[in-house]
Amino acid sequence: MNTLRRRLLVPLFVSLFVALGALGLGVRYYLNEYIVSQANQTLRQASRAGDGSQGRTVFEARLLLADHRGSLVDKDDALGHDRAFALLSYYRQNRAQMLVGDIMRVSAAGGDFFLRQLPIVSARGTITLAYVDTASVGTLMLTLHRVFAAALVFAMVLAVLAGMHAGRMVDDAQGKLKKFFENASHDLKTPLTVIQGYADGIRAGVIDVQEGGQTIAQQGERMTALVEEILMLSRLDAGQRKLVPERRDLREVLQTAAMQLKRRAADQSKEVCLDLPPEAVVLPVDEPALLRALQNLLDNALRYAAGRVTLALRQGRREARIHISDDGAGIPLRELSQVFERYYRGSGGQNGIGLSLVRELIALHGGQINAYNEGGAHFVIRMPLAGRQPVRRLLHLPEIFTRN
């Protein structure tokens, strides 16, 4: 499991680091190109009056005046003496290039400047230099870099936490899957052992054929039910199980489910109570899928019931509610939030598939299912109504299937 976690986390962190690093470099490159472009445009548009650029740019061109030797004559008030002398020193060293109007980028006296000699002729031989101070934008770049670095660290921390959470979820899912296979193997091995024992007894003539055949058939049904649940869950995951909805009266569906439970309830000296409304509750449902969900819930209720299982139907303004309850001890509080999780096997449970399969089938119908304790375990299925349903009476059937 730790190996799988590393396989998940390492590519995640590497990909995130590379993506954020590339983004940072890209932002830095394009911001630098933008500064150069704006500074060059500003200096090309600089006027003799020194009032900045004629077009719209983020910078303002200012003037620096020097004599023919490159000594300071006059400067803008915003430029300090140290920076002015540094710019003039650079000018004296690169005068040949600047005479033709080249724009030079100068890092001097702790600042970042773009410098250009303007083609202005003065009777006194004064040289006019236009410059752009990009220090403010440079400060902005530094701030952005710091913000981006902080965001990178924050994103990495989030990625680590998310990766650890994902790893724990993977480990938990693998643990549940492993436990499920252990339980399923046991649930398949037990009836196989019983079948083999009764078959050997019948062959040896020590077990009555009819009794042994009945037991073998019961164990075969138990195995078949488990295999069918595994296959159905697999089809749901693969998207191969599609609903075929037809408009059906839910009262008839619930009566069918209760009738199917009658014999097993009677064998255990328990009863099934059916509580239905007098008016039809018609919904588009896939009857086999809904019956399968109800059978799983009723089997679960019968297993834990002390003597009674109740199946009820209620219709609200926007939804139909199906209630399945028993009079047993209820669901332990520590298990209540996990009963619908796949492969979770509670105390006294079977294979950890039944209730998770119920949730999947109800969700396919656009419904929801919840569980709580109220005088025993209580499950509620909520299914949205498609609209008002026609009112008609249902043929009377016994509402309570009693003990034989």
Tokens of 229: 């649940």
Asked if pLDDT for residue 339 goes beyond 90, the answer is no
* Model confidence, pTM: 0.49
Residue, of 87 and 188, whose pLDDT is higher: 87
Do 259 and 378 have their domain in common? yes
* CB 201, CB 31: distance < 8 Å: no
The verdict on residue 188 lying in a domain is: no
229: number of CA atoms within 13 Å, CB side? Answer: 26
Beta bridge partners of 36: none
Confidence tier at 241 by pLDDT (50, 70, 90): low
* CB 306, CB 280: distance < 8 Å: no
Last residue of a domain, one of 75, 109, 141: 141
Q: What is the structure's pLDDT at 345?
A: 64
* CB 61, CB 45: distance < 8 Å: yes
Residue range(s) defining the domain that contains residue 91 = 2-141
Nearest in space to 132 (alpha carbons), one of 57, 74, 72: 57
Q: What is the pLDDT of residues 30-86, one digit of tens each?
A: 777 777 888 788 777 775 444 444 556 777 788 878 877 777 777 777 777 788 888
Q: What is the structure's pLDDT at 124?
A: 65
Nearest in space to 229 (alpha carbons), one of 344, 341, 357, 350: 357
The verdict on residue 47 lying in a domain is: yes
Mean predicted lDDT score pLDDT of the chain: 76
The verdict on residue 252 lying in a domain is: yes
The CATH number that applies at residue 381 is 3.30.565.10
Last residue of a domain, one of 108, 141, 174: 141
The verdict on residue 206 lying in a domain is: no
Q: What is the pLDDT of residues 286-325, one digit of tens each?
A: 898 899 899 889 988 998 899 999 999 999 888 999 999 9
Confidence tier at 367 by pLDDT (50, 70, 90): very high
The verdict on residue 381 lying in a domain is: yes
Which H helix or E strand runs over 13? helix 2-44
Do 396 and 254 have their domain in common? yes
Last residue of a domain, one of 107, 141, 175: 141
Asked if pLDDT for residue 348 goes beyond 70, the answer is no
Do 252 and 397 have their domain in common? yes
Asked if pLDDT for residue 150 goes beyond 70, the answer is yes
Q: What is the pLDDT of residues 91-138, one digit of tens each?
A: 888 877 777 677 888 877 777 888 888 876 665 668 888 888 877 666
Number of domains in the chain: 2
Q: What is the pLDDT of residues 258-280, one digit of tens each?
A: 998 888 898 889 999 999 999 99
Crossing angle of helices 287-304 and 250-267, rounded to 10° = 40
Asked if pLDDT for residue 255 goes beyond 90, the answer is yes
Asked if pLDDT for residue 242 goes beyond 70, the answer is yes
The verdict on residue 227 lying in a domain is: no
Asked if pLDDT for residue 400 goes beyond 50, the answer is no
Confidence tier at 139 by pLDDT (50, 70, 90): low
The CATH number that applies at residue 123 is 3.30.450
